[in-house]
Structure 1
Amino acid sequence: MSKTRTLAKEAAFKLLQSGQRPTAERVRAAIGQGAQQTILGALDEFWQEIGERLREPRLPDPLVEPVMTLWSQAVGTAASQWQTERKELEARIGALESREQTLTLELNEVTEARGRAETAAATAETLNAELQQELNEQRAERQTLQGEADRLSREATQTGELLKNERDARDRDQAAWLQQIDAARQATKTALAERDRLAKELNEAREARTRQEVLLAQADDRRKELTATLASRTQAFSAAQARAAAAERQAEDLDSQLERTSAIAEALKAQLRSGDETSKEMTERFDSLKLERERLVAENRTLRDELSVLRARREEFEISVQRALGQLERRVGPHAETEDDPAASPTLDRIPKT
């Protein structure tokens, strides 16, 4: 038997003597050591030994039954407490196992992190070696650049002397250039004055052209107005000429009718001479025909007078149109002759004549 089991049994017996129920926590607190399973096994053996002692025949008969009853109650109570404590212990064991799994996972993560850190450290060492090598190369390059800088400094000194000489020559050239610039400025001022004069003349020419365009527009409006008037009067004259032609044809018809009437009158006169019985009737008819002839002659004379008046008015209208067109051509000038459409301007040749 191990020492832990012996100590656990002794502690359980002392707890039982003090009136306390021996449990795994109390026993472990009393002895201060031992695993949970070992203490539980020792308690099982302790209760088994207590039972064997209680079954021994050394007890008096009157005490056997009370002791057995007490023992049964103690065993039942101990079993109930044992089940409760066992469930609690199993729950704690499950929690500890979960905690152990969590710690295992954390340990794995820490191990992986450590591996990554070691890898990073190795990489850093490699990088450090590369940087050290690069630093050595840069130092060598720096020495080379320092020598190059010294050489460039010497060349800069020489270049400064050359630049000073060039600057002196440039100052001399600049003085000559300034004189040329002054001369060019004077020439520019003269050219600007000439340009202003030409611009002024150009503005005056533009204003004159604008006035001429206004006059041309007015003349064109007047020409259009006269053209419209001429067209309307030409149309009226054509209508009057048509009426005059109709009147002339009517006059010719009246002349022919008058001739026929005269012939009839002569025939009637002959009949009057040959027949006395109808002389009075024929005389009246002759008088009526004579009156009709005089009326037709007067009407023909009136129509001829109207035709003469229309012809006189036509001649006056042609003269006024010719004067208006002459004034329009003098105002418009050659510019209007090139721009206007000759077919759009009516002339006297387009006016119908009788």
Structure 2
Amino acid sequence: MSDVLSPDAALAAEIERLKAAIPKTRELYREVCALLFFRYGITPTANRLYQLVRRGSMGTPTGVLGEFWAELREKSRVRIEHPDLPADLGAAAGELVAILWSRATASAEAALDALRDEVEAQRVEAQQLVIAARDELGRVESALEQRTAALLAAQVEIRELDKAQAEGHAQRQALEAELARISAALAARDRELVEVREGFSRDLEKQREAAERAEDRLRASEKRALLEIDRERSTATKLQKELDEATHRADRKDADHRRASETIQAQLGDARHQTGVLQGRLDAVQAENLRLQAEMMALREASQSGAPAAVRKTSRSTRSSRAVPTAKPATRRKKAV
């Protein structure tokens, strides 16, 4: 916002405009005289004219000023002409009109002075408004700088969050690959259990005719084996559900990564915990499979030898060996928890 021009600056600007518009020196001095007297209410002098225009010699503004005053007096003189009006009365009437014109001029000058005072007051008020506007502009610029700094900080934080999100996505993909590997391992264990059950059934059918005295024990063993197999299936189903829950948690982790990187660390810790639990249970399933295989081998040896004592000894040994692996997964699960 530009400042309001002062009277001197406005006069200088107006004279520069007249210099550019009027190339002739005498006409320029005459226009400057009229500008000073009629617009700014300043009585022109030869010295003032020369200081403002600075063209020609000092005699030029003096001559132009004399012509200006003569022309002004001639124009201010009022002539009243009438065929029947006496000359002295006409002159008196002219002087009266001249006096009225002088008073009107004085009144107009007073009004012009009041208008100047009003314009000056408006100029001062405008300058105060300019100062207030500059202060407001400074405050706005300061607020804009603060908001710009906050925006830059937010952009930096967004880039950091994007980087953390990319890292979390990579970790999620690695976790999904690990879960897929565990799922494949569980499927292989399930197939092995099915194969063991089928082989166990075939072996029982082959040994039923040769081991009539151990039929009840063999049936009990088969029932226990079936119960163990069902238990393992239940365990595998539970593990699959836990895997599904882990997958859902991983999805939730990916969504939570967009809000805060700290939540990702907590979810990854939870996923690692669940993986440890699953690994412990897988170890328990493997130990149980080994136990079943040992029991089957013992039953085969017992059926081939036909010795009840050996069968009882083998049954006791298998029961004692069965108690050991079942304790290990519990211990591992406790450690994982």
TM-score range, shorter chain: 0.3 to 0.5
TM-score computed with the length of structure 1 as normaliser: 0.35
